[in-house]
Amino acid sequence: MRVILMGAPGAGKGTQAERLVEALKIPHIATGDIFRAAVKEGTELGNKAKSYMDAGKLVPDEIVIGIVKERLMKPDCKQGFLLDGFPRTVSQAEALDENLKDRPIDYAVYIDADFDDLVERISGRRICSKCGKSYHVKFNPPDVRGVCDDDGGDLYQRDDDNEETAKERLEVYNEQTSPLIKYYEDKGLLKRVNGSQDPNGVYKEILNVLGVQEG
């Protein structure tokens, strides 16, 4: 099964991806991970991407698509994959379709959560300054306020997790992603799930739209 997982920051893509790859027995292809791997391995495309990133520039689509294509050609993707973080634009989606003519995408799952819910999730996140463990002031608070349960490290809020920045990030995401949602909707591949429910409910709904029995 070849699946694209879509959702705004705070929608819970990471949580769902972890469970889905285990249930579907397919690799999780997160673009951030494969970019770092390509750069670390010193591949031709990885080096090209690094030159743009080092200069603080956006990596051109053809390089992004090339790195994704290289990863999808590896043996572990033969039985399918879960793509997370790609495509981000319609042009990337079209290029992906062109490169996957012999094994097209089966589903684009969109975790559709309410804007205010997303803002609350993002702005409530706190990170341990020592171990990096993630908490949430409402949904996953530490035993002692402001202190990590594991190592006693101070908890802090990332700059891009404050409420105003969260709203800006979500507005940008919605502007960029709405054409992509329509693209997969028009192709009959889009599956919307209610991302405002609890994570277990989201997971069950995703399995349901994929036609997979919960194990």
Q: Residues 158, 182, 187, 204: which is the catalytic one?
A: 158
Does the active-site annotation cover 88?
yes
Separation CA 112–CA 129 (nearest Å) = 31
Q: Residues 2, 50, 88, 167: which is the catalytic one?
A: 88
Q: Which residue is listed with tokens 């960029």?
A: 176
**Cα separations (Å) of 165 from 15, 65, 128, 142, 157?**
22, 29, 20, 24, 12
State CA 118 to chain mean position distance. 14
Does the active-site annotation cover 125?
yes
Q: What's the order of all strands across the beta sheet hosting 107-112?
A: 28-30, 81-84, 2-7, 107-112, 190-194
Q: Residues 13, 71, 121, 126: which is the catalytic one?
A: 13
Does the active-site annotation cover 158?
yes
Residues acting as catalytic residues: 13, 88, 125, 158, 169
